[in-house]
Amino acid sequence: MGAAMKFGVNTMIWSGAFDSSIPLDKIKQEGLDGIEIPVFDAKDIDIAVLKRALSDSDLECTFCSVNPPGKNPISEDAAVRAETLEHWKQVIATAGEAGVRLIAGPTYSPVGHLPGRRRNDDEWKWGVDFHRQLDTALQDADAELAIEPLNRFETYFLNTAEDTIRFVDEIGSPRVGILFDTFHSNIEEKSIPRGYQMCGSRLKHVHACENDRGVPGTGHVDWISVLGTLRQIGYDGWLTIESFNGTIPQLAAATAIWRDLAESMDDIAFEGAAFLKRVWEKENQA
């Protein structure tokens, strides 16, 4: 199963939007299978342009998304929860129209929303109900949703594999699973490989990020153990490098990147992908 792994890059390495600054031809030339693009508002995506670009470059695509300002699935305000539900249904419908089969991200709460306390039982219930209500939209779009736990500095709601597994199991939809990210789990897990092992068949997406969001293979993430675990659990989805262009003020502020993470952003994508592919091939030969 592991031999079918797909290698991708998140386009926020270059830009905060899907635009001409993204080197699609080079991404293909470097042996990558696809891109992950940010979708903050469904209306921002020109489906025809996206489909043509993917066709011309022979690349596949996944979406990543967050709750934009004013949207919160676990708000105390029922009207806000209802508006947020419609927002995510639109994102899912857009994915379906574009032929995108996976949407991933911290779907449950706005990034950076930290009320200074632990989550409560009402928020948990609202979060579960919210995701259950997306099931029909996911079926209609023939898409899946991968819920991403974040580190404690970005969310108070889901930080660990254990909590996210419980959340996904309570939602109870085969179309809803987990995105597990090496950057966040480097902070929150006792063992990153153990986190992947726990996710098991619930794992629908992987963000491959070095501990500083720089070039994978240049930091202290134990990639041999991580990729070995993915092979052991039979994961055959996307291994997508995620980082952010810190020269774009909006991205820098959202991700707290205040320095260059590599000599060039291309290095994060292409040197990182080459490294990950080498490790993956070795694991499959082991």
Amino acid at site 149: P
Q: Is the pLDDT of residue 283 over 90?
A: no
Residue burial 213-226, b: 16+ Cβ < 10 Å; e: rest = bbbbbbbebebeeb
Q: What is the pLDDT of residue 188?
A: 98
- How far CA 241 is from CA of 10, 132, 157, in Å, comes to 6, 29, 24
Give the model confidence (pLDDT) of 149-200 as tens digits: 999 999 999 999 999 999 999 999 999 999 999 999 999 999 999 999 999 9
Band of pLDDT at residue 32, cut at 50, 70 and 90: very high
Whether this prediction's pTM lies above 0.75 is answered by: yes
Give the model confidence (pLDDT) of 185-194 as tens digits: 999 999 999 9
Tell me the average pLDDT across 30-54: 96
Give the model confidence (pLDDT) of 69-82 as tens digits: 999 999 999 999 99
* Cα separation, 34 vs 245, whole angstroms: 19
Q: What is the pLDDT of residue 286?
A: 72
- The maximal CA–CA distance of the chain, rounded, in angstroms, is 54
* Cα separation, 115 vs 80, whole angstroms: 17
Q: Is the pLDDT of residue 5 over 70?
A: yes
Residue 51 CA from chain centroid, whole number: 20
Question: What secondary structure does DSSP assign to 5-66, as a single string?
Answer: -EEEEEGGGT-SSSSTTS-HHHHHHTT--EEEEE-SSGGG--HHHHHHHHHHHT-EEEEE--
Q: Is the pLDDT of residue 1 over 80?
A: no
CA torsion 83-85-87-90 (nearest 10°) is -140
Read off φ and ψ for residue 93, nearest 5 degrees: -60, -40
Q: What is the pLDDT of residue 285?
A: 81
Band of pLDDT at residue 232, cut at 50, 70 and 90: very high
- CA angle, 276 as apex, 161 and 240 as ends, to 5°? 55
Check: CB of residue 45 under 8 Å from CB of residue 72: no
Band of pLDDT at residue 2, cut at 50, 70 and 90: very low
Average confidence score pLDDT of the chain: 96
